[in-house]
Structure 1
């Protein structure tokens, strides 16, 4: 199975990087083909420019977008690994979605006024960390909101079935080594079972 991991955290020693390493290793151990797109290492430009949209309307997708779309096109499973910042995606990942999940590639409107979901058949896993304790986000409904915006508003909108959405809270503000080990064990178990 072809598995794409889109990773968005600027620090090599972060807990998100440990999640990335755990997921990739579990997939490789099961014989999956794994492609990691580390957006910060790539220096991915997150700004959808007027030149980008004009070029895509003319059928001339800019090279950096086309390269990422090739990874998306070939993926059976797409995983996003990123921290929650200000209750949302880091700007670099939001820009990745803006630029690569484009009209005519990930979705389009049809003659009946409905949406053609062009990624139908693909699967997804989302792994998030956040500093706010999980109980707080759960109590105020933030976990459901995050699942709705990322899972529903991005992936399901394009036809991708979300298999799992991990929301690991208290990272950096209270999760000790034992708790982090438990989180990584959940990641390993999920990716080993795909």
Structure 2
């Protein structure tokens, strides 16, 4: 199993980075995982801004040579892991910019004039690991589960990815947030997962 980790946080001393380390530790101890690549969007200085106009068309983004390396990573990966904080009820703009650029028509999906397109990333699975200051129930009851709906339905199902798992941790700026217990939960999952499910 090939695993791509897309890490989105500017601080390597952050709790998000501690979750990245837990994931890597679990992957290293899992014989079902052959290879792991980490894409640190801030460390990579990824440009999340969509830029197109008369000469550079959005419909040609699937052929943009500047994004070829990242397309290759997504094509190679069987399991894609996103690690990020929840800011203002949603993933950071850096991650949304990556999604805007990478999940492009012609690469991630193809329109056939029907209600829904053909997803071109079928057979892959996704795990979203997110942390937030507020309580875990906050996005579910106060925001109508907007984060999970956005990621699962508006994005991943649209491009053909049906297997999506969430680890959504709240109260993470609280000293009693059980940080290590939650990191261990993620570590154990990746240590034991044996399929792309």
TM score, norm. by length of structure 1: 0.90
Structure 1, unaligned runs of 5 or more: none
Report if aligned partners of 2:139, 2:146 keep a CA contact under 8 Å in 1. no
Q: What is aligned with 2:152?
A: 151
Q: Deviations over 1:67-122 (max 9, x none)?
A: 10100001000010000111111111000000111101001111445310101100
Q: Deviations over 1:106-155 (max 9, x none)?
A: 0111144531010110011000001112243343245x221110122111
Q: What is aligned with 2:16?
A: 16
With over 3 angstroms needed to count, the CA separation of the structure-2 counterparts of 1:22 and 1:56, relative to structure 1, is: same
Give 2:65's match in structure 1, choosing from 63, 72, 97.
63
With over 3 angstroms needed to count, the CA separation of the structure-2 counterparts of 1:140 and 1:24, relative to structure 1, is: same
Report if aligned partners of 1:129, 1:171 keep a CA contact under 8 Å in 2. yes
Q: After TM superposition, give the deviation of residue 43 of structure 1 in Å.
A: 0.1
- Pairing of 1:1-194 with structure 2 (within 5 A): 1-31=1-31, 32=33, 33-50=35-52, 54=56, 57=59, 61-142=63-144, 144-172=145-173, 174-176=174-176, 179-194=178-193
Aligned structure 1 segments of 4 or more residues deviating by more than 6 angstroms: none
Q: After TM superposition, give the deviation of residue 63 of structure 1 in Å.
A: 2.9
Q: Which protein has greater RCO, CA pairs closer than 8 Å, 6+ apart?
A: 2
CA distance in 1, matches of 2:21, 2:55: 35
With over 3 angstroms needed to count, the CA separation of the structure-2 counterparts of 1:52 and 1:23, relative to structure 1, is: farther
RMSD over equivalenced CA pairs, Å: 2.1
SS in 1 for 2:107: coil
TM score, norm. by length of structure 2: 0.88
With over 3 angstroms needed to count, the CA separation of the structure-2 counterparts of 1:60 and 1:52, relative to structure 1, is: farther
